[in-house]
Structures are given as structure tokens and as C-alpha cells.
Structure 1
Amino acid sequence: MGITTTIESFFKKVLPSPFVITVLLTLLTIFIAFFFTEAPTKKNHFLTILSYWESGIWNNNLLVFAYQMMLILVLGHILVLSKPLDALIMKLISGVTNTGNAFLLVSVATLLVSFFNWGLGLIFVAILARKVAGSAQLRGFKINCLLVGASGYVGLMIWHGGISGSVPLKVAERVHLASLMSVVSTPELIAQVPDSIAFDQTVSSSFNLMLFSILLILIPAVLYFIGKRVGVTPANLSVYKNPIQTTQNASGTEKLDTSNILGIGFGTLVLAAFFYQYFNAIGSLAITPNLLNFFVLGLALVLHKNFASFLSAHFESIKGASGILIQFPLYFGIMGIMKKSGRVVQISDFFVSIATTRTLPILTSFSAGLANIFVPSDGGQSAIQGPIVIESALKLGVPLPKMILALSYGDQITNMLQPFWALPLLGITPLKAREILPYILVLMLVGVFVFVTGLLLF
């Protein structure tokens, strides 16, 4: 796999850290807006652009979105660190006896769990992959640990078309689409924007579920095929220990932290409120970030049993959300410049001029994939590209649900090129990005074929 080594070396040389990429994109957007947009009358053009940037950073709706995405990651991580899920992982790996079923278990698990919750999938399968490799080492059979690691990352190739996908979640919220377009489009186009796009038109549509089912079969098959043709890798891993710590011999008010009755009782209260509040929404598949996060919060409290365990998992999990916390507002600033300077309309007009009803979803998907390499953050990217996609679709008459999925597919597939979200996996296993890249590139090509074919034929 010499070509994958060359690609990995190229990206290592030319791609700076994600935060530096965000800063460079901000500066580039300011430069483009200054030199390629019309200056306002009687105002300093540069200072006006900076005001666009500042207002975008503190956009209330987008800040709510950022916090929702942080909670998806953090709560998913907290959930997987609970003892019941740890026991489930041990139960799953007990059946691993050779390389073939190791790849099968890890890849199928990451696809299924990530479809439900990408934050949960990231951590659950990272721990699963580490324990599979460790179990093989202890039980005396050899496997390719690099391929097992790659198997644990394929969930990031399907997550955006899943239940926790940020774009499908947000467009299912009432008036989100209209608020997203309010500063960009004309009143005539905004009038064409639906109040919301429900899950049965995107994530749970027969089209999306069919593509997911194909990948659920195809990805493990490809991994098994690769595994038959590559050698094993030596492993020298220490036994993975759950990092959760609870207070021993609690006294006084500390007993409240370690009380299972209080912890489970409060978690049950959260779940009761969840089912009362969202029962009808679940029945109509009107899944939103708040619905998903509220359920995972209640479930995590119940499974951890007490607040000491829950908070210990929280302190461990919050580290993984640091990138979202600091980078998302900068992406929102870019969006503020793009919207208020009129660049969104100009770019959408360009897509309309070169695309047809048939090719617009493909162009959207490829452009989303390209953007994801440089903006490895679905929320930041969708905030910038979303208005372009919506306006182009309205002008050409392409169904919005299909365009939402095209954007999601493009964003998720190039996670295989820019494994920004693989940091939890790499930290837990522990592997290096360049070691798993040759394998995930092959899987990315499989995904590209499935998604492009689906968008063309259906």
C-alpha cells in the first residue's frame, strides 16, 4: 500500500493543526470579503467585515447548536464509561477467537453504535478495539492490531446519516431552516423553505437506510478480505483499565455523591420527563438534539448509579469536547462574514450555473467532502455551507431532504482522510494516525462508490 503511505506523508506535511486551519480559514474569508465584495457606503469596509465576523461568533442560535454537539460527544463518552457497558464490551470480546471475527465484531459494532450516537460510537468502539487487541494478546492468538484500529473508525463514515447527525437533527427542528436563511436569501426564497424536515425524510428514509445496510454488509466483507492478505502485527499492550474513580469510605455529605438510591432515582426522574415530553416526537420520528441528549443523560445517570461515578466519567469525557468549544465560534464567525457580505448567494449562483437537478447532489457531496478536509467539524462546516446548499436546491428544484443527505454523506466520508475525530481512538488503543490511514483510505473508496451511486440512481 505504497500510495497510501505517500498520501499520509503529504497530509502530514501540508495540514497544520485543526485550530490553525480554523484561524487561516478566518483570515482567508476576511481577505476574500474585503477584495471581492462591494464596500458599504460611508463605512470602513474592513471594520464592517470585522463586525460581520464578531456578530457571527456570538450568534445565539449557532452557540446553542455548538453546545448541543458538545453534549452529544460528552454524554456518549460518559455513557460508555459506565460499568454495564464495560461489562457488555467484555461479553462481546469473549467470542473473539481469530482475526476474522475480530474485524467483524469491531466494524459491525462501530457502524451500529455510531449510527445511533457518534459520541458513543467514538468511545465505545475505541475501548472495544483496545480490549479486542488485548484479549488476543492474553489468549495467545495473533491479529493485525492496525486493521482492528481502522475497523473501529469506520463509524465516522456513516454517522452524519445517522440519528445523531448534526444536519438532519437541526433541520428537524422547527424554523431552523428559515432562521439559517433569514440573513441570506430573498423573502421569496425563504417562503419556499419548509418549517422543518422530519427524520422520515432523511435519516429513516428508505433511501438512507438502504445505503447504510449496504455498507453494514460491504465494510466488514472488505475488512475480512484485507485481513486475509496482510500480516499480523505484534502487540504489547497493558490491560486497559476504566479510568472512572469513585470516593471510597465516604462520610458526611459525601454519601450523597455515592448514594445509588439518589443517583438512580434522579436518572429515573430524567427518563420519566423524557418520555412524557418526547413520546409523540419519538412516534413521529421528530428526533432533535435535545431529545437525544436528554435520553442519554437519563440513561447515563441510571447506568452509573451514583453521582460520584457519573462526575468522574464527566471529567474524563470533557477533554474530548475542547476542540468543539473553541473552534465552533470561529466557524460561526466565518459564516457571519459569508452571509452578510453576500458571498453565500454568489457561491450558490455559481453552483446553479454549472449543475443540473441530477448533478447538484453529487457536486454538493464532493464539495462537502473537500471542505471537511480543511474544516474537520461538521457543525462549523454545515453552518458555512448549509445556506449555499439550501439556496442552490431551491433555485434548481432539487428535493431538500436529498440535498441534506448529500451534504451529510460528503462531510462524513472524508473523515477517512482527515481523522480529526480519531483522536479518542488513537489515545485509547494506542495507535498512530499514519498506521491506520492505509486501511481507512480503502474503506473510504468503498463508501464513496456507495454514496455516489446512491445519489445518482435514487
Structure 2
Amino acid sequence: MSAVLDKNGVPQTEGDGPRGLARLAYAFTGWAEKWFPDAFVFVILTLFAVVLGDLAIGASPLAIAKGFGDGFWSLIPFTMQMAMVAIAGYVVAASPPCTRLIDRLAAVPKTGRGAIAFVAFVSMIASLFNWALSLVLGGLLVRALARRANLKMDYRAAGAAAYLGLGATWALGLSSSSAMLQANPASLPKSISEISGVIPLSDTIFLPQSILMCVIIMACTIAVAYFSAPSGSTVKTAQDMGCDVSADAKVEEKAGRPGDWFEFSPVLPILVVLLAAGFIWTEFQAKSPLNVISNLNTYNFVFLMIGLLLHRNIRSFLKAVAKAVPTTAGVLIQFPFYGAIAAILTHVTGSDGVSISHHISELFVSIANGSTFPVVIGIYSAILGFLVPSGGGKWIIEAPYVLQAAKDLHAHMGWAVQVYNAAEALPNLINPFWMLPLLGVLGLRARDIVGFCFTQLIFNAPLVMFLLWGLALTL
């Protein structure tokens, strides 16, 4: 029997209906789907909030307008780099070898709950290398598991597990746009570099405390995914949800004319990859491994070359790229505005000769000390992350005053970046913005998986804050 939904989208039938935390999450998502505007609206609202703040401290309207224009194109290199992260991750995940790997991975779990925990593990591991790869790989793995007739797996919980890379760990690995930005002097805005300088990856994602935090979060998140998964009569399979999970038909294309040979031959991709391999070899010969992988251009270069090699021909590679490009729309249009906001925050001064960024950093210094700073900043970043769902863009807004406050309090600058990273992932768990690519793969709606994501948030939020505070004491 189909459940009757109330005005918030909460199933009203008894028995298998959501209860407790899941019911609250369904109510929240129902409200969000009705009232929550597009993420770009929040970018504009943030812009005008900063403008009003500048006016309040006595800044000139013309000075504000100049800051807006001067900063608008300041992030073009970083914008392109983040777009390429998404494209490269999608291209690799959609390659034929990766598809075959997914089919093999889908044969590993033996139980429905075990399958959900396994999806959570794969999603989080993949997110450490590329957040877009995590979403696509996780979604395709869930579909492959759902095709197993002998596996009774809750499709909603599995979908939520596939999202955990974005909701728990992505910013603690090489996907971290803030850590990568801080390690790249060529991409680092002057407004940030003047405060912190370059912060190497050895002081952020490869800090021992950061690695330990990541392992603990992963272990606890997998456990919650396993024990919160429905069992018995409460399981809703893909068929119960009306989702088509049949494998995509594989149409083998062949060259139809002599000129098509170049598009279908593996010769050109192999030659390109050999040339790329030579470049990577020279990079490792001239630089330390950390310096090589911390360069976003090199990182994206390697992923693209891997994708080209895995697709084996130019036609398949370009089809994957064409499918990946729409996922970058939010990055391309939002990041210029983030650059403008950062410029207004840091370069426009009021009647007292200081910027809003300076005033905010003074506020943090006044309410925090060296030990409470991680929790204060963590809570603030998590709340703001729901309104501005962009790890890299939001860091550019926050970094000037967060890093200034860390500097004034003599806190570890690299850990300040990791505080942001760990807290940044939390609002993703209940924000429909980043769910959209995954939901498209699964054929689900946000309300179908957010109940399980909200359960993760209830456990992860206090855990993350405790780890940010406790591990900071060891630095």
C-alpha cells in the first residue's frame, strides 16, 4: 500500500513508515524542496549581505562597486581547475574498465546491510581522490547491487551511503579545494596569501592528526550506515521504489568512413598518454611527491590522461566529457561572484580604515581562545555551508578572517584549514544541492535518502567537533 504524504512529504502510514530522526529528516527535506531556492540565490544574498555590512561600517558605495568589479575575475584559474576536477572524475568513472570494476565490486557483499556498508566505504575512499568520481562511482555501484536478485538491499539507504563521500570525507583528501588552493601559490588570491602564505599539504590533509580524524570518521560513518539500514519487511528495493536499474545497453560503435579511424583507434590516446607520462616523470624527478600532487593542474592532468587511456578511443572519451560538462555549471557561474565577495570583504575599508574581514576576525578572537577556536570555527563553517554549498568558493569567503583569527590566536594554520574541511562536509548531508548528480543516476528524490543522511548528521556533528577540539590539543 502506498503511503499517504502530509504537506511536508512525510509518509503517514504506520508500520514501515519513518520514525524518530528519519521522520524529522523527511519533514525537513519536504520543507526544503518547497521553499529552498537555488544555491545561486544564496550567493547573491551573501553578496548583498557583505555590501550592506560595508555600508554599515562607512565604506563608500563607489569603493564597494570597484571591489566587486576588481574581484569578479580574480578566481578564473581556480574556477577552471575546479571544473576540471568534476569533469576528470566523471570521465574516469564512466570508462569501460571502471564499469567492469563496478560489476566485480557489486559481487562482494553477501547481505543487504553489508552491501550498504560496502557502498559507504567505496564512496568515502573514492571521495579522497575526487569528489565527482565518488558520486558517479557510488551511484553506479548501487545500481549494480540492486540488480542482484539474491540481495535484499534497501535502495534508499544504499543511495544515502553512496552520498557519504560528499557528506563525510571528501574535503579531507586530495579533493579538498581549500587545501589545494592554500598549497598553490599561483592560484592563491592575494587577499589570502598576505595573511597565511602558502600552506603545504603536509600541514593540512597529510597532517597525522588529519589522517587519524579521517579514519575515525570513516569507521563511525560506516557503522552508522550499517546499523541504520532497514531490514526485513521495512526494506524497500529499487523495484519497490519504481526505479529502473537495468544495465545501460552497450552499443558498440564502429568507424563508418575512413576519416573516423582517428576517433576509434587507440593509437592516438596511447601516444598522448605516453607523452603525458614523460611529463609526470620529469615532475617527480624535479620536485618532491607532495609538491607534485598538490599542484591542481598536475592533479587534473593526471586524471584526464587516465580517463583518456581507460576509454581507449577519442570518441568514447569525448562522449564522457560531454556528459560531464553540465555538472560544472554551478562552479562556472558561482565562483566569479565568490571572488568578488572575497575582494569586498578584504579590500574595501570603512570609515575606521579597516575591512569587514578584520572586524569578523576580531570577533572570533574575542569569543575564542587557542583551544576553543576549532569548535567555534567548525560550527560557524557548518552553518554557513548549508547556505553556501561550495567548498572552494566558501573558503575564499571565509579564509581571510578565519586565517587571520588563527594567526592572532597562534593556532596551527594548517589545522585551521582542516577545521574548515571537516566542518564543511557536514551540511552536505542534508543539502539537496550536491545530491542532484547522484539522484539523477539512481532515479530517486532527495526526500528518499535524506532521512538516512540526517541520521548520519546527528552522529557525525558532535564526533567531528570533538575531534577538531581534541586533536588540536596535540598540535
Q: Same fold (TM over 0.5)?
A: yes
- Which runs of structure 2 are paired with 1:175-214 in the superposition (5 Å)? 179-181=190-192, 190=195, 193-194=196-197, 196-214=198-216
- Which runs of structure 2 are paired with 1:301-380 in the superposition (5 Å)? 301-341=308-348, 342-380=355-393
Tell me the secondary structure at the aligned position of residue 116 of structure 1: coil
Distance 1:359 1:423, change over 3 A: same
1:288 to 284, 289, 295: 295
The aligned residue for residue 49 of structure 1 is: 64
Distance 1:273 1:284, change over 3 A: closer
Structure 1 contact 274–294 (Cα < 8 Å) conserved: no
- The AA in structure 1 aligned to 2:218 is L
1:66 to 63, 71, 79: 79
1:225-261 per-position Cα deviation (integer Å, ceiling 9, x unaligned): 1125571114233344459877533323221111111
By how many angstroms is 1:110 displaced? 0.3
The aligned residue for residue 42 of structure 1 is: none
1:15 and 2:36 correspond: yes
The count of residues paired between Structure 1 and Structure 2 equals 438
Gaps of 5+ in 1: 40-44
1:168 and 2:168 correspond: no
Counterpart CA distance in 2 for 1:46 and 1:206 is 46
Tell me the secondary structure at the aligned position of residue 258 of structure 2: coil
1:416 to 429, 435, 440: 429
Distance 1:283 1:26, change over 3 A: closer
Tell me the secondary structure at the aligned position of residue 357 of structure 1: coil
1:143 to 153, 162, 172: 153
The aligned residue for residue 270 of structure 1 is: 276
1:395-448 per-position Cα deviation (integer Å, ceiling 9, x unaligned): 111010110100111111111121311111100001111111111111123222
Distance 1:356 1:144, change over 3 A: same
Structure 1 contact 70–325 (Cα < 8 Å) conserved: yes
Counterpart CA distance in 2 for 1:349 and 1:244 is 59
Structure 1 contact 245–312 (Cα < 8 Å) conserved: no
By how many angstroms is 1:381 displaced? 0.4
1:109-150 per-position Cα deviation (integer Å, ceiling 9, x unaligned): 0011101111211211111112222x23xx144221100000
By how many angstroms is 1:206 displaced? 1.4
The aligned residue for residue 351 of structure 2 is: none
1:30 and 2:40 correspond: no
By how many angstroms is 1:384 displaced? 0.4
Counterpart CA distance in 2 for 1:176 and 1:291 is 13
By how many angstroms is 1:456 displaced? 1.5
1:96 and 2:109 correspond: yes
The aligned residue for residue 109 of structure 1 is: 122
By how many angstroms is 1:78 displaced? 0.5
1:85-118 per-position Cα deviation (integer Å, ceiling 9, x unaligned): 0000001112234212211220110011101111
Distance 1:13 1:299, change over 3 A: same
Counterpart CA distance in 1 for 2:250 and 2:466 is 45
- The AA in structure 1 aligned to 2:84 is L
By how many angstroms is 1:267 displaced? 2.0
Counterpart CA distance in 2 for 1:65 and 1:375 is 17
By how many angstroms is 1:4 displaced? 1.7
TM-score by length of 1: 0.90
Q: Which stretch shifts more, 247-256 or 290-299?
A: 247-256
Structure 1 contact 244–309 (Cα < 8 Å) conserved: no
Q: Which stretch shifts more, 219-228 or 318-327?
A: 219-228
The aligned residue for residue 235 of structure 1 is: 238
Tell me the secondary structure at the aligned position of residue 254 of structure 2: coil
Structure 1 contact 199–285 (Cα < 8 Å) conserved: no
- The AA in structure 2 aligned to 1:37 is I
Counterpart CA distance in 1 for 2:456 and 2:357 is 33
Gaps of 5+ in 2: 1-21, 349-354
Distance 1:242 1:295, change over 3 A: farther
Identity percentage over the alignment? 26
Structure 2 contact 92–306 (Cα < 8 Å) conserved: yes
Q: Which stretch shifts more, 6-15 or 420-429?
A: 6-15
- Which runs of structure 2 are paired with 1:149-160 in the superposition (5 Å)? 149-156=159-166, 157-160=168-171
Counterpart CA distance in 2 for 1:257 and 1:57 is 39
- The AA in structure 1 aligned to 2:215 is S
1:239-294 per-position Cα deviation (integer Å, ceiling 9, x unaligned): 44459877533323221111111112212322321232245332567522122111
Q: Which stretch shifts more, 446-455 or 234-243?
A: 234-243
- Which runs of structure 2 are paired with 1:69-88 in the superposition (5 Å)? 69-88=82-101
Structure 2 contact 371–469 (Cα < 8 Å) conserved: yes
Structure 2 contact 238–245 (Cα < 8 Å) conserved: no
The aligned residue for residue 304 of structure 2 is: 297
Counterpart CA distance in 2 for 1:246 and 1:310 is 14
Tell me the secondary structure at the aligned position of residue 288 of structure 2: helix
Q: Which stretch shifts more, 296-305 or 251-260?
A: 251-260
By how many angstroms is 1:69 displaced? 0.7
Counterpart CA distance in 1 for 2:291 and 2:78 is 22
TM-score by length of 2: 0.87
1:10-42 per-position Cα deviation (integer Å, ceiling 9, x unaligned): 3334421112222222233223222x1224xxx
Tell me the secondary structure at the aligned position of residue 158 of structure 1: helix
Distance 1:49 1:242, change over 3 A: farther
Counterpart CA distance in 2 for 1:151 and 1:449 is 20
Tell me the secondary structure at the aligned position of residue 390 of structure 1: helix
Distance 1:242 1:31, change over 3 A: farther
Structure 1 contact 164–289 (Cα < 8 Å) conserved: no
Counterpart CA distance in 2 for 1:399 and 1:154 is 28
Q: Which stretch shifts more, 441-450 or 326-335?
A: 441-450
1:338-389 per-position Cα deviation (integer Å, ceiling 9, x unaligned): 1222111111111111111111111111111111111111121011001111
Structure 1 contact 270–298 (Cα < 8 Å) conserved: yes
The CA RMSD measured in Å over matched residues stands at 2.1
Structure 2 contact 406–413 (Cα < 8 Å) conserved: yes
2:415 to 402, 407, 414: 402
